[in-house]
Amino acid sequence: MRLCVIRRACGSLRIYPARPGSRVTDLSRRCQTLPGGLANSRMILRAASATTSGGTDPLVTVNRSQKEDRLECDTSLREVVQSTKEAMVALQRRNPAAHPLLAIIQAGEDDSWLEINKKMAGKIELNITQICLAKECSEDEIVEELLRLNEDPKVHGIYLHLPPASLTSRVLNTLKPEKDIDGISDLNMGRLVRGDLSKVFVPPRASAVLDLLEKHDASSEGKTILLVGGEGSFGLTLQCLIEKNGMVALKSNWNSKSLQRQLMEADAVVLLGAEDMDVPPTWFRPGAVVIRCEPTLATDEHAAEMSSKSGLGDLTAAYRMQNVVHSYSRWLQEQQYQPWHLRTLKLQPLMPVPSDIEISRAQKPKPVDQLAEQIGLLPEELEAYGRSKAKVQLSLLNRLHAQPDGKYVLVAGITPTPLGEGKSTVTIGLVQALSAHLKLNSFACLRQPSQGPTFGVKGGAAGGGYAQVIPMEEFNLHLTGDIHAITAANNLVAAAIDARILHESTQSDKALFSRLVPSVSGVRKFSPIQISRLRRLGINKTEPASLTPQEVHTFVRLDLDPSKITWQRVVDTNDRFLRKITVGQASTEKGLIRETGFDIAVASEIMAILALADSLEDMKNRLARMVVGTSRSGQPVTAEDLGVSGALAVLMKDAIKPTLMQTLEGTPVFVHAGPFANIAHGNSSVLADKLALKLVGRDGFVVTEAGFGADIGMEKFFNIKCRASGLRPNVVVLVATVRALKMHGGGPNVSAGTPLPKEYIDENVDLVAGGCYSNLRKQIQIAHLFGMPVVVALNVFRTDTQAEIDLVCQIAKECGASDAVPCYHWAQGGRGSIELAQAVNEAANTPSNFQFLYHLEMPIVEKIRVIAQKVYGAEDIELSPEAKAKIDYYNQQGYGSLPICMAKTHLSLSHMPDKKGAPTGFVLPIRDVRASIGAGFIYPLVGTMSTMPGLPTRPCFYDIDLDPVTEEITGLF
């Protein structure tokens, strides 16, 4: 047994170390095989829990010797101890790390009752933590300790060894029912009285009394048990348990005129309290068992000694320890995968379809904690952000590490047009159909929308119509602040770069060293991040005073070349005038003026790291590896060299957790990482996908979305994200629309917000066929390059005719799609995508032959060429002198084996936005090549690609407004 004693008094805290060498075991096997039904309720109850302290109750059987009574107690005690030990061994066999822990909150020093409990814990080899409060402790002090123990996952049972006056209603109901091994909380007692024994803990004293009654008479069913006195909760509990075990429980009190008659008629008598009452032996029936139960916390040492001699105190303690082990077994069972019991929300679609925001507001989402419980998340794995969204702890991956993954579905699209193809809408409609209608567990994994498009050119990104994430205002605006955290972290790096250049230019080595390694209380020492830099420089010293002048110079001088700083600031707004700026113009900056610029926040390398990291540690390491520029000697300078990587991890520690939301039909959604697959890799996070794949179970589905067309988002999903995650998808859903296919088939250009030309309103099968045989076919072929089956989802608009719909589905199958189906989720919700869900289910259960497009060992130039020729259809690539120089530099630095993330227009398979369909014969110009070393990829810039979008003449924000009375948002999509 390991014992840790914590004494709290007068604000001081002393911790006495635990003794090592404890052996830990487990109860789960026994608990899982316990028989059910009321006939076996006593056995079930013994594997549960209890009230407060052990009893002082002598056991007497009229006309029998004390020795015989003692033998019955000893037999019961041995059986309980042995069964609990066996349960511990079974638990440890299944889980060698099993470590049940009992926490005791006591007032004052140890007494005989606590010694009995500690002795019993030692026999069963349980670990104990004692919190010793002052003898006259306040209610607040007790509650404070309870709240702490409630949330401690290492504690599996809490025993309140306190005076009765301290066991107030507030104290009892603060105690978490799952840890209430004495069964004293209102919830525990209510469940017991109601007969809900699945979660209840039975008071150990009650279990001990029932045990002795059984030992006295094996066929106790139908016997009459008289309870005398005890108007409190223990008497009521005992009465319920006696009746549930087939006996007749009668109540009486010490002042009853018929007490002598009642005692004589009873087969057994339990005397509750009133320890000073003296009942003549002649009042009892010959052979009747008489059990005296003293108050729950006696201070009489003689009473405790008598209780121990009679065996009932020991037996009560043994049942208390059994309850702790059973509590641990329940906790272990809760850690296993839990089947879903998803309650979906009903939809009542209206015609004509209202605006997205009206639909969103008409549906009341489930509280996020209810949604979490329905999909098997534990309360401690959830961090609520209001009522409708919550962060999910990454510890879920450890808890469910042995759980098989579900099916993995990627939603991509044909080359997008200003008309919008609706990938997010299809993704949501598909998971609504899978979960709400086919009753298959499914999760949507979406990217968090950027504020830039929300207020710029696109509007909301929560889906549309009756296939949305709700509440859509919360989805589109701030969410849980991940993009703001990225912005803060990114700009902290930018500030650190310019500050370091300034300080290095104005200070000597000695002054720099003195400030970088300051003397605190006369002691100068390196921080851990500085020691890491010393190691990378080959300086294996930890004492600042031991560095030579040359080592000090090497340590303090990053010597960044201002012309080769690659790190830019970011802001989550489309602000074209920040594409190129000049910084350092204030007189205080010593003339250190340089040109730099802003990217949009979601194009930050930190966003890519967030999306590709598979743990907090991995994210921290990636942040440290980020290269921000080059020194004048040609060496890369990292965020860790700047000393900022630990601070970045702190800023990002909450952002790494995916955000849980729900669809209109109450099915779960993870929202994580950012968009912009044209200038970033544009996929939702690895962690969101991994968490969802565990939660849905072997037969469930995770539907994740890639940005823009299959040539960009899907290619990056396979070549970058799948390499980072190790996950392999089962099927690709390729989204198309008749309107977009008409444009790719030769239809006129359109602009957002202007009336549609008649070609997009009237039936035109020739344009549809042209788009299918060019862009749609090419995108299907791209998926086949990776060995993936393709299901084409035709997102139907009200202007589409049946002939056009049938033609798209027919040609898609001719071009190699496994299936092609029309989808009506925008107007009907999940019911409108049932056919798509069935097609995806069938395709996901067929073998796939996934493969990467290129090997990482290929030269950087060849990897770029493979993507350009096989994916885009280019004849070749053309590198600018700057791009060639950058590639040579990255090869010298050992970055040549990284995958490629092309920054290219999303509006065409080529680099020319106006070239629709499937252009061929063009040469792809590579203007520049940059490296995101922390994220782990090289990204070439194709043509005139910009990393900062601009606002149009009439941005979306013209329509967005707030009612100051109702606080309702209007105009948000």
Q: Is the peptide bond before 668 cis (omega within 30 degrees of 0)?
A: no
Are the beta carbons of 79 and 315 closer than 8 angstroms?
no
* b (16+ CB within 10 A) / e for 264-276: eebbbbbbbbbbe
Question: SS3 for 224-285, per residue?
Answer: EEEEEECCCHHHHHHHHHHHHCCCEEEEECCCCCCHHHHHHHCCEEEEECCCCCCCCHHHCC
* Catalytic entry in 797, 801, 852, 927: 797
Closest C-alpha among 421, 396, 401 to residue 411: 421
Q: How far apart are CA 177 and CA 194, in angstroms?
A: 15
CA distances (Å), 514 to each of 500, 510, 549, in order?
A: 15, 6, 13
Determine whether 717 is an active site residue: no
- Mapped onto helix, strand or coil, the DSSP state of residue 683 is strand
CB 729 within 8 A of CB 408: yes
The C-alpha atoms of residue 368 and residue 702 are separated, in whole angstroms, by 19
Count helices and strands in the chain by DSSP H and E runs: 37, 36
**Residue 458 annotated among the catalytic residues of the structure:** yes
Report the relative pairing of strands 668-671 and 519-520 from DSSP bridges: unpaired
Query: Which tokens go with 210?
Result: 């029932």
Catalytic residue (one of 179, 191, 244, 423)? 423
Are residues 841 and 438 in contact, defined by beta-carbon separation less than 8 angstroms? yes
Active-site residue, selected from the candidate residues 51, 344, 425, 667: 425
Q: Is 425 a catalytic residue?
A: yes
Q: Is 742 an active-site residue?
A: no
Q: How far apart are CA 607 and CA 539, in angstroms?
A: 33
Type of residue at 917: G
The DSSP bridge partners found for residue 923 are 876
CA distance 271 to 553: 85
Pairing verdict, β 407-413 and 731-736: parallel
Q: Is 439 a catalytic residue?
A: no
**Whole-Å CA distances, 682 to 478, 707, 847, 906:** 18, 5, 27, 11
Distance in angstroms (rounded) separating the CA atoms of residues 40 and 731: 50
Residues near 684 by Cβ (< 8 Å), separated by ≥ 6?
445, 446, 447, 611, 670, 671, 672, 673, 704, 705
Q: What DSSP assignment string belongs to 97-110?
A: T---EEEEEEESS-
The answer to whether residues 610 and 482 touch, using CB atoms and an 8 Å cutoff, is: yes
Length of the chain: 973
Q: Cα separation of 565 and 567, whole Å?
A: 6
Q: For residue 560, what are its two tokens?
A: 């960044």
Is 826 one of the catalytic residues?
yes
Set 304, 649, 677, 710: catalytic member: 677
Catalytic residue among 447, 742, 863, 865: 447
**Contact yes or no for 874/910 (Cβ under 8 A):** yes
Give the pairing of strands 961-962 and 969-970. antiparallel
| Catalytic pick among 205, 292, 399, 458 | 458
- Backbone torsion region of residue 108, taken as left when φ is above 0, otherwise alpha when ψ lies between -120 and 50, otherwise beta: left
Q: Do the bridges between strand 627-631 and strand 560-565 make them parallel or antiparallel, or are there none, so unpaired?
A: antiparallel
Catalytic status, residue 317: no
Does the bond joining 881 to the residue before it have cis omega, within 30 degrees of 0?
no
d(CA 834, CA 842): 12
- Among residues 826, 922, 937, 973, the one annotated as catalytic is 826
Active site residue 670: no
Half-sphere exposure of 211 toward its Cβ, with a 13 Å CA cutoff?
32
- What span, in angstroms and rounded, lies between the C-alpha atoms of 357 and 694? 32
- Nearest alpha carbon to residue 201 among 241, 242, 251, 161: 241
Nearest-angstrom CA–CA distance, 164 and 298: 10
Q: Give the residue numbers marked as catalytic.
A: 423, 425, 447, 458, 677, 708, 797, 826
